[in-house]
Amino acid sequence: MNIKLLQHPLSDHLLTILRDETTTTAAFRAAAGRVTTLLAIEATRDMPTTPQNIRTPLEEMQGATLAQQIVLVPVLRAGLGMLTPFVELFPDVAVGYIGLARDEETAVAVTYYRKLPPLAGRRTILVDPMLATGGSAVQALDALKAAGADDIQLVCIVAAPEGVAQIHQNHPDVPLLAAALDRELDDRRYICPGLGDFGDRLYGT
How many structural domains are present in the chain?
Answer: 1
Q: Which residues are CB-neighbours of 145 under 8 A, at least 6 positions away? A: 152, 171
Q: Would residue 95 count as lying in a domain?
A: yes
Per-residue pLDDT at 33:
96
Query: What CATH number corresponds to the domain at position 99?
Result: 3.40.50.2020
**197 assigned to active site:** yes
Q: Would residue 57 count as lying in a domain?
A: no
Q: Give the amino acid at 103.
A: D
**Given 12, 103, 173, 197, the catalytic residue:** 197
Q: Would residue 75 count as lying in a domain?
A: yes
What is the span of the domain harbouring residue 127?
A: 4-46+69-203
Q: What's the alpha-carbon Rg for the chain, to the nearest Å?
A: 18
- What does the pLDDT profile of the chain (205 residues) look like in tens digits? 579 999 899 999 999 999 999 999 999 999 999 999 999 999 999 999 999 999 999 999 999 999 999 999 999 888 999 999 999 999 999 999 999 876 666 656 778 888 999 999 999 999 999 999 998 999 999 999 999 999 999 999 999 999 999 999 999 999 999 999 999 999 888 999 999 989 889 888 8
What are residue 151's phi and psi, to 5 degrees?
-145, 95
pLDDT tens column, 47-101: 999 999 999 999 999 999 999 999 999 998 889 999 999 999 999 999 999 998 7
Strand partners, 110: 101
Per-residue pLDDT at 107:
57
**Given 34, 77, 102, 114, the catalytic residue:** 102
145 within 8 A of 116, measured Cβ to Cβ: no
**Given 20, 106, 173, 186, the catalytic residue:** 106
Q: Would residue 139 count as lying in a domain?
A: yes
Strands 176-181 and 4-5: parallel
Nearest to 46 by CA among 202, 192, 185, 177: 177
Per-residue pLDDT at 113:
86
Per-residue pLDDT at 200:
87
Q: Would residue 62 count as lying in a domain?
A: no
Q: Would residue 51 count as lying in a domain?
A: no
Per-residue pLDDT at 103:
66
| Angle, alpha carbons 97-103-104 (nearest 5°) | 125
**Cα 28 from Cα 20, distance rounded (Å):** 9
Per-residue pLDDT at 111:
81
**102 assigned to active site:** yes
Q: How many CB atoms sit inside 10 A of residue 84's CB? A: 14
Q: Would residue 52 count as lying in a domain?
A: no
Q: Would residue 117 count as lying in a domain?
A: yes
Per-residue pLDDT at 1:
57
